[in-house]
Structure 1
Amino acid sequence: MAASLREIEQRHRSNLEAFVLRARRVEEHSLAADWKGLVALGAGSMKVTVIGEQAVLRQELPSEELVESATARVRPLLLEEDPCAYLKALAAVGYFCRDLPRETSEVKAKRAEWRARTKPAPDSGYTVMVGNTTTGQTASLTDHDLAWAWIYGDVVHHDPDKRRAADPFGLAERFRAAVPLITWAMVAAIELLNHIRALQHDGILDLSPDVLDQEVVLRSTTWEHTGQAHTAPPGTPAPEHALSPFPRGWTSVQEAKPTRSSSSTASVPK
């Protein structure tokens, strides 16, 4: 049975709201605080210094731990089956803006750019070749394959096949290839997020206001809560719900706490 118009709209809206929540979390990552630096990382920029007949190639990259945390935030956007996937968000924007030619054109361009970076053609990017002068063994791998080997072999999973294929190149080469992919995806996600905000402001989208302002990252990791505390022996039935009274057997910590005028003694066996 074909989905109704209402069901189609609800699916697109749900995917778009999921993307907004995830993209806002990406936006809050510390790497995104330096926007120009993030864009430069996504471009894979490097410094080349020619010294005589040799060339020295140098890239200044963030710490692996920092990029690893960014990868955890970005990864769901790369998985096409996830509700918050970047391509699903683009499809939703295209659906709600289907009567706007300029928006339709931009969606097509962004889709092509995303696919070119996440699923590039074999002859794009660069290829790393290594060889062992003692054994004669050689290996070659594209930057895209090296990047995914770091993501799925070193970070979010331990894929033995990806690790095996990329091991001859070393961890540093895998990481160097992954940084531009992850940071470029961050840039693309934040740019789309800002575009969605503008469409929402103009009344073209009808997203829940909650997804645009609800908390997505912790500002403080110190937990403190003021309220009533009760204790009970193990096995004592718990309250039916948060608003129901405590059953028999529960004692308020405040009631059980000794007063200043009271005293207590304890004996310790020798």
Structure 2
Amino acid sequence: MKALSALGYICRAAPQEAEWIRAARTEWRTQVSPSTRDESGYWVMVADASTGEEHDLDAHRLAMAWIYGDVVHHDPERRQEGDAFGLRDRFRAAVPLVAWAMVATIELLNFIRVLNEAGMLQLRQEVFGEQVALKSTVWEEPAEMYYAPVGAQPPSLANSPMPEGWLPLSKTTDLSIFRHLIAGQLLHAERSPSMTQLPSPEEIEAARTPAGGWKRDQLAAWGVPWPPPKGWKDELAERWEAARQDGAPPPLI
């Protein structure tokens, strides 16, 4: 609507172009922000026979619930408003609105191109040729990777020397250092000789102290941070069982 308002001002002295812009503004306003339920095209009414709860929503509000609730996850109130109608009704209402907006935007772009070629607009040519979409979504780029302990000072610039504590990641790097109790192995290798064996549930229980807890160094050997997070025993037991079923030695990942 802002683009059409600007075009309307620029073309105020050109009757034919001004008429097209007025018609386009009316159509955009009706499609994007209908003032009545009839303008939205149709509406849906549902009722729950067991509770007697009823809901009534027009197609435009259903479409907005899908766009801003299901897709963008920006407006939980819109999403909640359309929840009773289900995903299919929300999607079905959004499809014609999104398709119309795409076609109407292309039409508006073509109109702007005509105005620019006729000299009624003075737009830089770069705005028509600037790349805004990737032709391919698959690519490879050579890169050097470095790692450092948590809290290490990062480099200040892209071409500045790596600060103290940063090491290059190479084929000889022991990948077992990239592990987290909950997230698992962050970088995988087929086999790493330094990876500690996972304890079985029996071994975990056998390692209890007389007071009923576990020593800090023992937990560290199992890859458990201190203080141990909630559910750490179950996590180790699940990983031990999964490795056992795979027939492989259960490494600590």
TM score, norm. by length of structure 1: 0.52
Q: Which runs of 5+ in 2 are unaligned?
A: 169-192, 195-253
Counterparts of 1:174 and 1:230, CA distance in 2? 45
Alignment-mate amino acid for residue 98 of structure 1: R
Count the aligned residue pairs: 162
Check 1:160–1:100 CA distance in 2 against 1; reply closer, same or farther (3 A cut). same
Task: Classify the secondary structure of the residue corresponding to 1:182.
Answer: helix
1:204 aligns with 2:120: yes
Which of 213, 216, 223 pairs up with 2:132?
216
Aligned residue identity for 1:183? A
Per-residue CA distance 1:99-137 (angstroms, 9 max, x = gap): 211111111111011001111132321110112223222
Tell me what 1:75 maps to. none
Structure 2: which amino acid aligns with 1:197? R
Partner residue of 1:187? 103
Structure 1 residues 235 and 183, CA gap change in structure 2 (3 angstroms)? same
Find the aligned partners of 2:59 and 2:69 in 1 and give their Cα distance.
Answer: 14
| Matched AA of 1:127 | W
Amino acid at match of 2:25: R
Q: Which amino acid aligns with 1:150?
A: W
Deviations for 1:173-214, whole angstroms, at most 9, x for unmatched residues?
011001111111111100000111111112211111111011
Say if 2:37 is the partner of 1:119. Answer: no
| Cα gap change, 1:201 to 1:121, in 2 (>3 Å) | same
Q: Percent identity?
A: 49
Rg larger for: 2
5+ residue gaps, structure 1: 1-86, 254-267
Paired position in structure 1 for 2:17: 103
Rounded to whole Å, the distance in 2 between the matches of 1:230 and 1:140 is 56
1:247/1:145 Cα in 2 relative to 1: closer, same or farther (>3 Å)?
Answer: closer
**Partners of 2:63 and 2:122 in 1: how far apart?**
37
Measure the CA separation in 1 of the matches of 2:30 and 2:162.
Answer: 65
- In the TM superposition, 1:126-141 aligns within 5 A as 126-141=42-57
The Cα shift of 1:162 comes to: 1.9
Structure 1 residues 247 and 175: CA distance shift in structure 2, 3 A: closer
State the Cα distance separating 1:138 from its structure 2 match. 1.7
Question: Aligned partners of 2:145, 2:32: CA distance in 1, in Å?
Answer: 53
What is the letter of the counterpart of residue 87 of structure 2? L
1: CA distance between counterparts of 2:116 and 2:47?
Answer: 54
The 3 A distance-change label for structure 1 pair 139 and 99 is same
Give the equivalent residue in structure 2 for 1:19. Answer: none
Please give the TM-score of this superposition, normalised by the length of structure 2.
0.55
